[in-house]
Amino acid sequence: MKKYCPNCYYPLQGKSKFCAKCGQKTESGKVTMGDLLRRLWRSTFHLESKFFRTSWQLFVPGLVTSEFFRGKQARYPHPMRLFAVTMFFFLFVLNFLMKEKEEQRSGGAIRITTNDNGKIDTLAFNGDNFFNQLQHYNELDEFREDYDDLPEGWRTEEARLAFDSLLSAYAHRNIIGYENKAKADTVRRMLDTLDLNLITRQIRIASADAVRYSPEQIIQRYKISNWFDKIAVKQGIKSLKRPSELVHAYLGSLTWTLLALIAVMAGMLRLLYWKQQRFYVEHFLLVLHFHTGALLVLTASFIALRFKIINDNAVNLIALSSLIAMYFAMYHYYGQGWLMTFFKWLVYTIIYMVMFVLLFILGILLVFAIY
């Protein structure tokens, strides 16, 4: 009776234990728990061994790409998988450090233009975001409205004094700056209205509206008809209420921004080295491996910064030095002279910085639009 591979249905030869086409073992399909764990162990440590063996080679500009196209491909993880794993660790460390910084921050600062001749004042708040301040401020007006709705016989002079005392205590406890009588008027002006910078204009809305109404209701109340302005209002109110979520959304879009940048710069390298008649994939993998190595270095730098082994200036210097590493990658991989490589690297670097800024801004706008 003819036997077939249970995985790909390829005819099995004689008593062969493995399929000649897909390589799967010719078994009944039943797997014990021990077999499952052993497969997990082998596949996990096989990937880890490849990852660690490749990691140090990424620090040698152009080495991994050169070895890859010399046919030594089985010893390395898939380039996209290697980039994805490295990007995961980079974002994990960066996100962790940002959250830690937010938790340890003892105070923050908000700068808002007041209604007083465009004068700029600064409010510092501790462990509270600006939207919470707006909520507390508008609750004072709601308390006053509730008091005015009481029967007239209850609103005696003594009750008014006691009520004002309670409002003052609530404001001092929850609104930064109210405890300073000299700044109380400034604080009220700063929290009374909000300036929203739209695409085509700037509008001023009452803070009570921002607290009480949804973005859709605000759009109707202020007669905003432009499509771009509507998006700006919706996302502006969302970022006001949940600012940290917007920042994390920006970080999440960084992966796609980098992949788009890698694809564009690979095309740039193909133009610079068009006489060598190389495939696009060669340029793509060179740029991909370069960014993977740069992300590894930055991840290690952030960890070293966290434990105060290095300072911020050292991190900035390491980030800038990665551009110089690209010069050596181009020199070793393409094999041209030092001077010719320098001019091509200079063109590459200028285009790279311009495209990075453009794609980063585009990524932010896309996140802002769909956030």
Longest dimension (CA), the chain: 104
Please state which of the ranges 20-24, 108-112, 227-231 shows the lowest mean pLDDT: 108-112
Q: What does the domain layout of the chain look like in residue ranges?
A: 66-103+245-370, 108-241
Contact 335, 236 (CB under 8 A): no
Q: Taking 60 as the threshold, does the pLDDT of residue 138 lie above it?
A: yes
Structure confidence by residue, pLDDT tens digits, 55-104:
788 899 999 999 999 988 877 888 998 899 899 999 999 988 887 876 66
- Structure tokens that stand for 174 in this block: 């929850």
* Confidence at 115, pLDDT banded by 50, 70, 90: very low
Structure confidence by residue, pLDDT tens digits, 199-243:
667 888 888 898 889 889 999 999 898 888 888 888 888 878 777
- Structure tokens that stand for 45 in this block: 């440590």
Structure confidence by residue, pLDDT tens digits, 282-293:
999 999 999 999
Structure confidence by residue, pLDDT tens digits, 154-199:
889 999 999 989 998 888 888 877 766 666 677 777 778 888 877 6
DSSP state for residue 6 in the 8-state scheme: T
Question: Once rounded to an integer, what is the mean pLDDT over residues 38-46?
Answer: 59
- Structure tokens that stand for 163 in this block: 């009520």
198 conformational bin, left if phi > 0, alpha if psi -120 to 50, beta if neither? beta
Question: How far apart (Å, rounded) are the C-alpha atoms in residues 79 and 228?
Answer: 39
* Confidence at 109, pLDDT banded by 50, 70, 90: very low
Q: Taking 80 as the threshold, does the pLDDT of residue 351 lie above it?
A: yes
β-bridge partners, 18: 25
User: What pLDDT was estimated at residue 113?
Assistant: 46
- Structure tokens that stand for 4 in this block: 């077939």
- Structure tokens that stand for 256 in this block: 């796609």
Question: How far apart (Å, rounded) are the C-alpha atoms in residues 307 and 102?
Answer: 17
β-bridge partners, 236: none
193-197 and 120-125: which strand pairing? unpaired
User: What pLDDT was estimated at residue 315?
Assistant: 93
Q: Taking 60 as the threshold, does the pLDDT of residue 47 lie above it?
A: no
Question: How far apart (Å, rounded) are the C-alpha atoms in residues 262 and 104?
Answer: 35
DSSP state for residue 361 in the 8-state scheme: H
* Confidence at 365, pLDDT banded by 50, 70, 90: confident
